[in-house]
Each structure stands twice: as structure tokens, then as C-alpha cells.
Amino acid sequence: MTGPSTGPRAELTRESTSRTAEAAGLTLHYHEAGPQDAPVVIMLHGGGPGASAWSNFGRNLPVFAERFRTLLIDQPCFGRSGKPVLDKDYFSYSADAIAALTDELGIAQAHFVGNSLGGGTSVRMALNHPHKVGKLVLMGPGGVSVNLFAPDPTEGIKRLFEFNTAPRPAKEQLRAFLSVMAYDQSIVTDELVEERWASATDPDTRLGSARMAAAFAEPAWAEDWMLWREAHRITHPVLLTWGREDRVNPLDGALVALRTIPDARLHVFPHCGHWAQAEQADEFNRLALDFLSH
């Protein structure tokens, strides 16, 4: 494990909050800030080219760190974490790795905030490691949502496949993918595209993407990532959040989860795509903090 804790009054940068730890034979990278004696919140990022914990939640970290010991974790196959060959479905593998990390860090229980792919891992955490989970905030989560009316694959998933399967992906393919993620196109800046491009085209990142995709393509594990089949077993309080204009996991995907999870409630952000934490940051922060604090 490297690096001391960072309090909320310190300058919270990508590097100042950066930590690494070995858990279950895997190197996991994460960012940490907030009081050591506060309740813990773990934030799990979505997928997509160049995705990482910091790219999803870096701007939310200072706000959450005022109340919580907050960890943003690069999931396996992403960011600076290891890029292993998976031996089970992705959500189960990632959940087991994060459970091992919490043991390594002495964290008995945490609240989870999961976006898209990270939402699926958060749900698998609640199902497979229920004693380690307090409350769940799920943002357009994967696996537990079912598109009842929207076409499948969705526009966002098509753009993702186009980039990931291209022998030589183009920067404009990445921009097209990011543009689908956001309702407010002003956040798809040249700076964002360049940052994600540098990561997405790194050979190590490409390897991680390929290994994750292989796990989702494995027929023997298909039922394991169809989390909606098990959602009725989630006993934790759950806040489902969705962007009304989400073109990756559309809003109709919330209905089965809302009906099936016993203690679920739903908040819909207008004028918002797949990145509520960025596009509606102030409202998202207030909503999530209130839910997690009471």
C-alpha cells in the first residue's frame, strides 16, 4: 500500500490522492480523501474508452470527502489497476477484487456509488458480499437495467463496440462515443477528448478492454452478469438515478430494477445523459449525500 490519507482541506489532485494496494494477487489503484474515522463511500466508474475512477468522479471527490472517507477505485482492467485474464464474469471478478481491497484497508463496510459498469459491480457487491455494503447509489447501472422499449444494443453501446473493435480506432470515433454519453455537449471538450484518447490508445488500456470484453462474451458466464435476475435479493436501501436523455442505458431500463429491488427509489435528472455526476453535479451531490447521510 502506498501513500497516506488526504484530508478534505488539502488540495485534492489526481496525484495527491493516488494510492495503490495489492489485494487477492491484483494491483488495484485508487484515489482517497476524507477523514479516516468517517463512514466510507466507494465510487466505481463506468466503462468505455479511457475510463477511470478519476475521469468519472474526480470533480465529485472534494464534496464527498467533506463528510466521508471517499475512495475512487480503478476497477480491474481499467486505469492504473491490473489487467488480468478474468476467470469469471466481470461484475463478480471486480466485486471480489474490491472486497479483497476493503479487507486490505481494514474497511468493514462502505456505501457504494456506481455509474454504469460500476453500478453493475456495486450490485454484485451487494449480492455476493452483502455485509460489506451499506447503501447503494446506482447511476444508469449496467446489468440490473433492462431496456423494455429502447432498442438493444443502444446508440451508446454501438459507439462503444465501434471503437473497441476497430483495428486502428480514430479520435473521431472516441468523440462520437463521448458525445452520446452527454446531453450537454459543452462538456465534451477538446481537452476531455485528448485526455481520454491518450488513455484509450495506450496498449495496456487496450489489453484491459479486450480482456473485459472477452469476459462479457463468454457464454458460460452470461447469466451471471444479468443482474436483474437476482435484483429481488438486494436487501440494502438503493437510490436509482437516471438521466432522462441517457442514450447508453435508457430510462426505461430503470423500471424492472425499480419494481424488483425491495427498497429502491428513483430520481430522474432532466437535461441529462449518462453522466449525472458531471452534467448535474450539484444536484447529484446533494441528492446522494443526503441519501447516504440519513
Picking from 63, 18, 72, the residue whose alpha carbon sits closest to that of residue 43 is 72
User: Are the C-beta atoms of residues 69 and 38 closer than 8 Å to each other?
Assistant: yes
CA distance 283 to 275: 12
Would residue 31 show up in a list of annotated catalytic residues for this protein? no
Locus of grid cell 438493444: 152
Q: How far apart are CA 159 and CA 105, in angstroms?
A: 37
For residues 286 and 269, give the distance between their C-alpha atoms in angstroms, rounded to a whole number: 13
CA torsion sign for 72, 207, 129, 122 is positive
Among 111, 129, 274, 294, the active-site one is 274
Q: Are 201 and 169 in contact (CB under 8 A)?
A: yes
3-state secondary structure of 42: strand
Q: How far apart are the first and last CA of the chain?
A: 32
Catalytic residues, by residue number, are 274
